[in-house]
Amino acid sequence: MLEVLDRLARAGVRGWLDGGWGVDALVGRHSRPHSDLDLVMALDDVEPATNALADLGFAITESEMPTRLVLGDGRGRAIDLHPVTFTPSGDGLQRLQDGRVFAYPSAGFAAVGLVCGRPVPCLSPDVQVLVHQGYPPEADDRHDMLLLREAFGIDLPAPYRDDPGSPR
């Protein structure tokens, strides 16, 4: 995963960890297996990112642009790019497939987490919770949200708060 971030940085592309890796970075430890690496990045950086990652064997496996682009390397690694257009105030706007727009608040891009002891940009705990709403949570989502609650004392939304298996 750090290899991917390094390759993107050399190409001048900035990405913020989202999803499971983003949560693990925020809590500073690897807590579970991950099926992909979720990265939020500027829409204008998607093409340079795709080109840079081709050198590591990644190619497009699924496109739902402008909402998301999935890259795979044939060895089981996947990267899920979430493109946003930044507003003058720093909010990141992601156009969804149904035409709606999801807004990542500008403050959410200020977080830094740790992966293997190395600082990496990631979405803030509050924005991690925000992006985990609006769909039925799976076991990994519940795990990640409970980690955020334990580490940061975040009040979780109903689908996570009402989980009968979660500690209260």
Asked whether residue 168 is domain-assigned, the answer is no
Asked whether residue 92 is domain-assigned, the answer is yes
Supply the DSSP symbol for 24: H
Give how far Cα 97 sits from Cα of 61, 63, 68, 137, Å. 17, 11, 9, 20
| pLDDT tens digits for range 123-137 | 999 999 999 888 889
Asked whether residue 118 is domain-assigned, the answer is yes
Q: Please give the share of the chain, as a percent, with pLDDT higher than 90.
A: 86
Asked if 122 and 112 touch (Cβ cutoff 8 Å), the reply is yes
pLDDT of 164 above 60: no
Q: What is the mean pLDDT of the chain?
A: 93
3-state DSSP of 40-90? EEEHHHHHHHHHHHHCCCCEEEEEECCCEEEEECCCCCEEEEEEEEECCCC
pTM, rounded to two decimals: 0.92
CATH of the domain at 68: 3.30.460.40
Asked whether residue 167 is domain-assigned, the answer is no
| pLDDT tens digits for range 32-48 | 999 999 999 999 999 99
Asked whether residue 69 is domain-assigned, the answer is yes
| pLDDT tens digits for range 99-127 | 999 999 999 999 999 999 999 999 999 99
- Tabulate helix, strand, coil % of the chain (nearest 5): 35, 30, 35
Domain count for the chain = 1
Asked whether residue 132 is domain-assigned, the answer is yes
The average pLDDT across 63-75 equals 96
Q: Structural domain of residue 66, as residue ranges?
A: 2-161
